A = this chain, B = another copy of it.
Amino acid sequence: MGNVKRPTIHDVARVAGISRGTVSRVLNGDRYVSPAARLAIERAIAETGYVVNRNARNLVRQRAGSVVMVLSEPHEKLFEDPNYSTTIRTAIRGLGERDLSLVMMIAADDRDREQVLRYVRGGHADGVLLMSTHSGDPLVDALRGARLPAVSCGAVIGRESVIPYAACDERGGARQMAEYLVSRGRKKIAMITGPMDTPGGIQRLEGFTDVLGRKASTRLVEHGDWTHASGERAMARLLERVPDVDAVFAASDVMASGALHTLRQAGRRVPDDVAVGGFDDSSVAISTHPPLTTVRQPLADVAQETVRLLLALIDGADQVEPVTLPTELIVRESA
């Protein structure tokens, strides 16, 4: 649009009175440039307003110049978390320092996945950042087949060995919550899990059973699917089966909010009759009544580590060690 022609490296060279080879060298921080030349070139760059053309650079360097972040949300759950915002922002910054841009793709259905696959297969990305990918996802194998650097933000259960990841210590976080409920004198502690094909689903339950041991009988465990409605239903089933339940740990704040709803309708007081714990410390945690005691994840750190691993892979590392970071218990009024 009405763009005046952009200055090229030739223009800079001409203005500075130096060859384009040397200009390229200062652009890329080569050692062998005389102070005089460097100064002249920097002046010329400022004067012309030169910015490198990424297409030309990436063409000759044989790179794509971008990393694609794939959001796999099997359900209609989607964004919802402030998680994404933090993660995306952190990723953008980390990648930006290496002149990589972050392109977004969503892999919610087969059509989406097809598109993602074509994209990465086509060599249009230098790496892949997987978000909330579940274990059965065909994308994982496809990506593996494409031999492209890929890292997951959050472990991909059953695939830890095939896709490196940075994640928070979900199991440890669940353990914190369970220990807290026990320490408050709760005796009959139930759990509402997430889907058992997600890391959050599996590992948060593991942490729970770590603490409760054989007290964590199947009678006290119900499975949800992260949604509010599933939290409601799971709580209803628990109340029916174990009327004297005095605490419930939901694997997400949203499900905890559903549980609160059911408890209220059943006339139970929270936390007096039943203590409720959530997970995520998402925005709903403070909009429920009472506000949720929950587990906070170190999202920014996880994101940063994810990017670090991916960059290492892009730089040619054969493999990288997964990273796990600790969570924090946030005590509010629901427990």
Contacts and interface: CB of A to CB of B under 8 A. Distances in A.
A289 B260 CA distance: 9
A287 B284 contact: yes
A147 B1 contact: yes
Nearest to A286: B228
Contacts of A88: 104, 106
A306 B316 CA distance: 40
Given A59-B55, A81-B79, A89 B66 contact: no
A82 B79 contact: yes
A81 B2 CA distance: 36
A103 B106 contact: no
Contacts of A83: 79
Contacts of A123: 3, 6, 51, 53
A147 B2 contact: yes
A267 interface: no
A104 B92 contact: yes
A103 B101 contact: yes
Interface string A281-314: 0011011110000000000000000000000010
Contacts of A122: 51-52, 54
Most buried by B among A52, A149, A283: A283
Contacts of A93: 115
A158 interface: no
Q: What 4 A-B pairs come out closest when comparing CB atoms?
A: A78-B85, A51-B122, A55-B59, A79-B85
Given A101-B103, A101-B119, A228-B283, 12 more contacts: A1-B316, A51-B121, A55-B64, A56-B59, A69-B104, A78-B85, A79-B81, A79-B82, A79-B84, A84-B84, A103-B104, A257-B287
